[in-house]
Amino acid sequence: MTTGRIASIKRITKETQIEASVNLDGCGLFEVTTGIGFLDHMMEQLSKHSLIDLNLKAKGDLHIDFHHTTEDSGYAIGDALKKALGARTGIKRYGNAKVPMDEALTEVSIDISGRPYLSWQVKFSNAKVGDMDTELFKEWFRAFAQSAGITIHVRNLYGENMHHIIESCYKALARALREATSVDVRASDSIPSTKGSIGGDITEV
């Protein structure tokens, strides 16, 4: 049983001040405050369906727009996740989930590889959902992938309602993370790479 996979970070810039903490072996408890209602809702979905406990407090320059707070929240959660994973010992590393949300269906595949990459195959028919620009969700995923060191492929297969499409993206990511970060009981003392290391400045296959 892996214990202690808990991490907290602070990210402070002239644009945002963010505190984030995660517990990879939690039960999906969350406390989220970003000042952006829809983003809060997505972070709560991420926590609930990944079973990763998440605390996120963000203050940003919302008088300008939602861009910096959304992007930096992705960076902060990714940083905390990367720190909590440590050397990645025992994790399954790969995760895949296909999640429906009413008429929408999205598939997310991830590799906790140490190589950040985002493939974003999601198109929106509207520029906004509520007060939030739909283009910002790609920015969140990109920032999260970059700071966590994860390869993420997001593919919305179909859907009409913007809320449903976006929510299915986050729920699919959550389920993929739940799988990839879980401990493989058959290799709980092993790092899942032939290189013997994941992350840092090491690139492996």
Name beta bridge partners: 127. none
Residue 127 pLDDT more than 80? Answer: yes
For 26, the domain range is: 6-180
Domain annotation covers residue 141: yes
CATH number at 24 reads 3.30.230.40
With 90 as the cut, is the pLDDT of residue 4 above it? Answer: no
Q: Is residue 95 part of a domain?
A: yes
Residue 103: closest CA among 82, 72, 125: 125
According to the model, what pLDDT value does residue 2 have?
43
Q: Percentage of the chain with pLDDT > 90?
A: 85
Residue 200 has pLDDT above 90, yes or no: no
| Residue 132 belongs to some domain of the structure | yes
State pLDDT tens for residues 50-69: 999 999 999 999 999 999 99
21 falls within a domain:
yes
In a domain, residue 69? The reply is yes
- The domain total for the chain is 1
Report the pLDDT value the prediction gives residue 93, as an integer from 0 to 100: 96
Residue 30 lies in a domain: yes
pLDDT digits (tens, 9 = 90+) for 165-198: 999 999 999 999 999 999 988 866 767 665 666 6
Instruction: Kindly state whether residue 25 falls inside one of the protein's structural domains.
Output: yes
For 103-120, what is the HEC assignment? CEEEEEEEECCCCCEEEE
| Structural domain contains residue 109 | yes
